[in-house]
Structure 1
Amino acid sequence: ISSISPFLLLPLADTRQLQLLHFCLFLGISLAALLGNGLIISAGACGQHLHSPMFFFLLSLALTDLGSSCTTVPKAMHNSLWGTRHISYTACAAQVFLIVFFLGTEDFLLTVMCYERYVSICKALHYGTLLGSRACAHMAAAAWASAFLTALLHTANTFSLPLCQGNALGQFFCDIPHILRLSCSDTYLREFGLLAFSTFPFLGCFVFMLFSYVQISRAVLRIPSEQGRHKAFSTCLPHLAVLSLFISTGTFAPLKPPSTSSPSLDVVVSVLFSVVPPALKPLIYSLRNQELKDALRKMMTVSFQKE
Structure 2
Amino acid sequence: MKPENQSGVSEFLLLGLSEDPELQPLLFGLFLSMYLVTVLGNLLIILAVSSDSHLHTPMYFFLSNLSLADISFSTSTVPRMLVNIQRQSKTISYAGCLTQVCFVLIFAGLENFLLAAMAYDRYVAICHPLRYTVIMNPRLCVLLILLSLTISIADGLLHSLMVLRLSFCTDLEIPHFFCELDQVIKLACSDTLINNILVYVVTSVLGGVPLLGIIYSYIKIVFSILRMPSSGGKHKAFSTCGSHLSVVSLFYGTAFGVYISSAVTDSTRKTAVASVMYTVVPQMLNPFIYSLRNRDMKEALRKLIGTSPFSRL
Q: Do these two structures clear the TM 0.5 threshold for a shared fold by scoring above it? A: yes
State the partner residue of 2:87: 82
State the partner residue of 2:195: 190
Deviation, 1:88, is 0.4
Alignment-mate amino acid for residue 67 of structure 1: S
* CA offsets 1:12-56 (integer angstroms, 9 cap, x no match): xxx333100000000110011011101001101111111100000
Pair 1:6–1:243, CA change in 2 (3 A)? closer
State the partner residue of 1:284: 289
195-204 vs 52-61, which moves further:
195-204
Q: Does residue 1:4 correspond to 2:9, yes or no?
A: no
Deviation, 1:179, is 0.7
Q: Is the 8 A contact 2:169 2:188 kept in 1?
A: yes
Counterpart-to-counterpart distance in 2, 1:239 and 1:43: 18
Supply the RMSD in Å over aligned alpha carbons. 1.6
Pair 1:274–1:6, CA change in 2 (3 A)? closer
Unaligned runs of 5+ in 2: 1-11
Alignment-mate amino acid for residue 162 of structure 2: N
Counterpart-to-counterpart distance in 1, 2:197 and 2:156: 17
Secondary structure of the equivalent of 1:184?
Answer: coil
- Find the partner of 1:152 among 137, 150, 157: 157
Alignment-mate amino acid for residue 122 of structure 1: C
Counterpart-to-counterpart distance in 2, 1:260 and 1:54: 39
Deviation, 1:306, is 5.6
State the partner residue of 1:54: 59
- Aligned identity (percent) is 37
Q: Is the 8 A contact 1:172 1:270 kept in 2?
A: no
- Find the partner of 1:38 among 33, 43, 46: 43
Pair 1:72–1:34, CA change in 2 (3 A)? same
Please report the TM-score for the alignment, with normalisation by the length of structure 1.
0.94
State the partner residue of 1:262: 267
Please report the TM-score for the alignment, with normalisation by the length of structure 2.
0.92
Pair 1:231–1:49, CA change in 2 (3 A)? same
Unaligned runs of 5+ in 1: 9-14
Q: Is the 8 A contact 2:175 2:268 kept in 1?
A: yes
Q: Is the 8 A contact 1:241 1:284 kept in 2?
A: yes
Alignment-mate amino acid for residue 278 of structure 2: F
Alignment-mate amino acid for residue 2 of structure 1: L
Counterpart-to-counterpart distance in 1, 2:106 and 2:141: 20
Pair 1:258–1:111, CA change in 2 (3 A)? closer
Q: Is the 8 A contact 2:262 2:271 kept in 1?
A: no
Deviation, 1:253, is 2.9
Counterpart-to-counterpart distance in 1, 2:270 and 2:107: 23
Q: Is the 8 A contact 2:84 2:90 kept in 1?
A: yes
Pair 1:31–1:257, CA change in 2 (3 A)? closer
Counterpart-to-counterpart distance in 2, 1:161 and 1:296: 49
Pair 1:29–1:205, CA change in 2 (3 A)? same
Q: Does residue 1:63 correspond to 2:63, yes or no?
A: no
Alignment-mate amino acid for residue 22 of structure 1: L
Q: Is the 8 A contact 2:291 2:298 kept in 1?
A: yes
- Superposition map of 1:199-218 within 5 A: 199-218=204-223
Counterpart-to-counterpart distance in 2, 1:118 and 1:6: 40
Q: Is the 8 A contact 2:166 2:191 kept in 1?
A: no
Q: Does residue 1:246 correspond to 2:257, yes or no?
A: no
Q: Is the 8 A contact 1:2 1:87 kept in 2?
A: yes
